[in-house]
Amino acid sequence: MLKKPETLFVLGYMLLPLLALLSAIVGLTMILGGNRIAGIIVLVVVTQVFTFGSFFALRQRKAAMLQERDAGQ
């Protein structure tokens, strides 16, 4: 299921960037609220995991689309 370009499209362009944005908002809110260490951890670690996951999904989608195109010829 994670090899289908449609699923990878949803993950790479919609779901993971949205989660990265939400985790960045949560991290900044925690920092401004006084919980600095946990806010920095959320801001740096969790946001980057979602961001790199999005890039990974987009690379996998590109590879899957190229493979489908080559198999169709």
Domain ranges of the chain: 12-67
Q: What is the pLDDT along the chain (73 residues), one digit of tens a residue?
A: 678 888 999 999 999 999 999 999 999 999 999 999 999 999 999 999 999 999 999 999 999 999 888 887 6
Please list the alpha-helical segments (H only) found in the chain.
5-9, 16-33, 36-41, 47-72
pTM given for the model: 0.84
Distance separating alpha carbons of residues 8 and 62, to the nearest angstrom: 9
